[in-house]
Amino acid sequence: MSKISFASHPFLLGFEQLDRLVELSAKSGNEGYPPYNIEQSSETSYRITLAVAGFREQDMSITLEDSQLVIRGRQEDDSEGRVYLHRGIAARQFQRSFVLADGVEVAGASMENGLLHVDLQRTIPNTVVQTIEIKHKK
């Protein structure tokens, strides 16, 4: 049985990469930790905010692999010798992935009050109008 996708429609020539991106984003559905917000701060800029209380800057890494933004966090376990009556603060590693569209670039990242902010900037491409010459074959 062959796989049918929306990019196989005859009017969508050359959109095979879009199919790949949809598949990639479906696979990156994480379990919900850490929670995050995505906000649009202007017409061409976005901000991803992750709640990473307890993590330090050196505990995290942000990479851009192809068109996928990957944020990883890993804390060292310092609970040796401690006796917890209740442990509700998560001290575990995480990985969050976001698929970025073409033209979206990471503008920077900052940390403030237990929140990691990743700023994104989208470039607006120039509109190109091209006239194609029709040649007569003899």
Q: Containing domain of residue 48, as a range?
A: 32-79+86-122
Number of domains in the chain: 1
**Residue 133 predicted with pLDDT over 80:** yes
Please report, for the domain that includes residue 104, its CATH number: 2.60.40.790
> Is position 25 within any domain?
no
Helix, strand, or coil (residue 118):
strand
Supply the pTM of this predicted model.
0.70
> Is position 15 within any domain?
no
E strands, the chain, are 36-42, 45-51, 60-65, 68-73, 94-99, 104-112, 115-122
119 in Cβ contact with 106 (< 8 Å): yes
Which pLDDT value is given to residue 101?
87
**Residue 111 predicted with pLDDT over 60:** yes
**pLDDT-based confidence at residue 65 (cuts at 50, 70, 90):** confident
